[in-house]
């Protein structure tokens, strides 16, 4: 019997150095895209997939993330007093039910695999999602819902994958693939950041995973891999052949919000999806593009 997917692990302990000085005093996961922080997009995507328990792997200076999902009594009282109904509704949409979120401190930056291993007590013996808030996916069906459906279909591990230029394989975890029906790809192997000339394919894993609790066994070895870090990719590779393992060509567009240009592109793409903002935003963009086309 396939257990339902109820848990998600969100590693949020990173320093966000690419966004300094903005991230000097706030967590990068709290940077807003339009009017919601990155972390809220991930939580909403997970909830749309039926996930109702969350574990944040945190570091120093990350308390604002947890507070964001708490009840803001004073602010709500002021909004009620001023009859700000829309603002009250937006606040309540960001709240999580009591007991649905826990935090675990990752004391040392030892890699993504180590961060997931820190959640071992939370995971227990259930399948779980791993979501990297830096990756934002704009899609009609939430990306994690697509993965959850594929997991229910296969009963095994499922990772979201996308094609990358061959010359960029040394930036990503890359799949060695078997059977491929155009949607689900059989995973025969995983390689972390291979050189283009030896990469087994150009299918890259993005920051969305559905994994089985058996993963804790290889992770517990805390073996160092690429970058002298405990790599999640290496531990997943040890499960291949033991459990069903597939890559899913998800529907949607992914934005790397850990990169400044990707973050700016996400602002535009998500803004254009908002009916109340899209007309004015298109006007701004046309105006700035026209100005940039005029010779100095």
Residues, the chain: 296
CA torsion, ordered 238, 240, 245, 251, to nearest 10 deg: 60
pLDDT one-digit tens code per residue, 8-43: 999 998 888 898 898 888 889 999 999 999 999 999
288 band by pLDDT with thresholds 50, 70 and 90: confident
Stretch (H or E) spanning 164:
none
Provide mean pLDDT across the span 144-158. Answer: 95
Cα distance between the two ends of the chain: 67
Burial 242-252 (b: 16+ CB within 10 A, else e): eebbbbbbbeb
Question: Is residue 259 pLDDT above 70, yes or no?
Answer: yes
This prediction's pTM: 0.91
Distance between CA atoms of residues 228 and 220, nearest Å: 16
Provide mean pLDDT across the span 176-200. Answer: 88
Question: Is residue 53 pLDDT above 70, yes or no?
Answer: yes
- State the average pLDDT for the chain: 90
Distance between CA atoms of residues 277 and 36, nearest Å: 14
Distance between CA atoms of residues 221 and 294, nearest Å: 60
Provide mean pLDDT across the span 146-175. Answer: 91
3-class secondary-structure state, position 177: strand
| Cα–Cα distance list, 192 to 123, 170, 211, 217, 267 (Å) | 24, 8, 17, 19, 30
5 band by pLDDT with thresholds 50, 70 and 90: very high
CB distance 240 to 188 below 8 Å: yes
Tell me what pLDDT residue 295 has: 61
CA torsion, ordered 237, 240, 242, 246, to nearest 10 deg: 130
Tell me what pLDDT residue 188 has: 92
- Checking phi first, is residue 124 left (phi over 0); if not, alpha (psi -120 to 50) or beta? left
Q: Which domains does the chain have, with CATH numbers?
A: 7-258 (3.90.550.10), 261-296 (no CATH)
pLDDT one-digit tens code per residue, 82-104: 999 998 988 888 888 888 999 99
Question: Is residue 296 pLDDT above 60, yes or no?
Answer: no
Q: Residue 159's beta-bridge partner residues?
A: 209, 247
Tell me what pLDDT residue 242 has: 92
Provide mean pLDDT across the span 172-192. Answer: 88
194 band by pLDDT with thresholds 50, 70 and 90: confident
Question: Is residue 230 pLDDT above 90, yes or no?
Answer: no
Percent of the chain with pLDDT over 70: 99
3-class secondary-structure state, position 222: coil
Sort strands 184-192 and 53-58 into parallel, antiparallel or unpaired.
unpaired
């Amino acid at each position: 019997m396939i257990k339902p997917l109820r848990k998600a692990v969100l590693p949020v302990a990173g320093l966000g150095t690419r966004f300094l000085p903005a991230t000097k005093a706030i967590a990068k996961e709290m940077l807003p895209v339009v009017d919601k922080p990155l972390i809220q997009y991930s939580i909403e995507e997970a909830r749309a997939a039926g996930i109702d328990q969350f574990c944040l792997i945190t570091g120093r200076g990350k308390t604002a993330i947890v507070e964001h999902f708490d009840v803001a009594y004073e602010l709500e009282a002021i909004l009620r007093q001023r009859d700000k109904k829309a603002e009250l509704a937006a606040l309540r949409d960001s709240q999580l039910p009591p007991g649905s979120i826990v935090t675990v401190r990752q004391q040392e930056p030892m890699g993504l695999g180590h961060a997931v291993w820190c959640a071992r007590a939370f995971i227990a013996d259930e399948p779980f999602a791993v979501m990297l808030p830096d990756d934002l996916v704009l899609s009609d069906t939430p990306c994690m819902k697509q993965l959850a459906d594929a997991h229910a279909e296969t009963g095994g591990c499922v990772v979201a994958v996308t094609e990358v230029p061959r010359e960029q394989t040394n930036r990503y975890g890359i799949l060695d693939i078997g059977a491929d029906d155009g949607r689900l790809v059989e995973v025969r192997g995983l390689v972390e950041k291979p050189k283009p000339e030896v990469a087994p394919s150009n299918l890259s894993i993005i920051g969305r995973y559905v994994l089985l609790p058996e993963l804790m066994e290889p992770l517990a070895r805390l073996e160092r891999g690429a970058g002298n870090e405990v790599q999640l990719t290496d531990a997943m590779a040890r499960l291949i052949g033991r459990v069903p393992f597939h890559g899913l060509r998800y529907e949607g567009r992914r934005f790397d919000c850990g990169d400044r240009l990707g973050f700016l592109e996400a602002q535009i793409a998500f803004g254009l999806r908002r009916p109340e903002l899209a007309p004015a935003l298109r006007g701004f963009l046309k105006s700035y593009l026209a100005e940039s086309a005029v010779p100095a």
